[in-house]
């Protein structure tokens, strides 16, 4: 990308800038993860201590490949003290933002990833992404897996899925998944008369 400042032209290496941004996020993720471990703080403490901001931060980092964890198990008990709809929206936005890191790694790092992963596995993942597209990604994101599925969001980046489409699918998928968990929790409370 070229920027013009009157007589002076500056060429910016966009790929390099994106890579530096991803590396910076990686470093922040590691610092965040180490801080949680060394200070013996749990995600629940982070969320309770910082409220909606804590939910956003935890959702963001939980959706990256660097510190993957399933935040949906923490949301139901928090819905007793925070507005559930606001919480689901913020958690979905945080998760969507975290998956942007994964998408970016797949998008700009696909050549590096191709060197690390067997060609057949890479092509199989791209084939599945191209075959099922946004619908396949949506289904994966809403399934109630006990483990985080967010690292799979590298594949749309490798397959060069449209970024806006990717973002919408992730947000809606997370919103649906978190809403289902909260509704099940609410139903259990009603059954138990709590």
Q: Provide DSSP, the chain.
A: -EEEETTEEEE--HHHHHHHHHHHHHHHHHHHHHHHHHTT--HHHHHHHHHHHHHHHHHHHHTSSSS---GGGTHHHHTTTS-HHHHHHHHHHHHHHHHHHHHHHHHHSHHHHHHHS-HHHHHHHHHHHHHHHHHHHHHHHHS--SS--GGGGHHHHHTT--HHHHHHHHHHHHHHHHHHHHHHHHHHHHHTT-
- For the cut 70, the answer to whether the pLDDT of residue 1 exceeds it is no
Domain assignment of residue 26, given as a range = 2-191
> pLDDT tens, 11-22?
545 566 566 666
Q: Which of 10-14, 62-66, 130-134, 166-170 has the highest mean pLDDT?
A: 166-170
> pLDDT tens, 49-84?
788 888 898 889 888 877 767 777 778 777 778 899
Tell me the pLDDT band of 154, cut-offs 50, 70 and 90.
confident
Mean pLDDT calculated for residue range 126-148: 77
- Residues of the chain with pLDDT > 90, as a percent, come to 17
- For the cut 70, the answer to whether the pLDDT of residue 173 exceeds it is yes
Tell me the pLDDT band of 32, cut-offs 50, 70 and 90.
low
pTM of the model: 0.70
Domain count, the chain: 1
């Amino acid at each position: 990308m070229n920027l013009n400042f009157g007589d002076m032209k500056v060429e910016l290496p966009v790929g390099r800038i994106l890579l530096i941004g991803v590396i910076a996020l990686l470093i922040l993720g590691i610092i965040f993860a180490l801080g949680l471990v060394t200070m013996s703080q749990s995600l629940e403490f982070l969320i309770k201590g910082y409220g909606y901001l804590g939910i956003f931060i935890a959702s963001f980092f939980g959706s990256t490949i660097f510190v993957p964890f399933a935040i949906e198990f923490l949301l139901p008990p928090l819905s007793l003290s925070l507005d559930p709809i606001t919480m689901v929206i913020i958690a979905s936005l945080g998760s969507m933002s975290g998956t942007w890191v994964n998408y970016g790694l797949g998008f700009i790092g696909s050549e590096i990833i191709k060197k690390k992963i067997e060609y057949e596995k890479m092509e199989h993942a791209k084939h599945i992404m191209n075959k099922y597209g946004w619908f396949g990604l949506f289904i994966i994101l809403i399934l109630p897996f006990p483990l985080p599925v967010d690292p799979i969001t590298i594949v749309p980046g490798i397959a060069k899925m449209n970024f806006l489409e990717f973002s919408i699918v992730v947000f809606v998928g997370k919103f649906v998944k978190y809403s289902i968990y909260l509704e099940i929790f609410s139903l259990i409370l009603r059954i138990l008369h709590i």
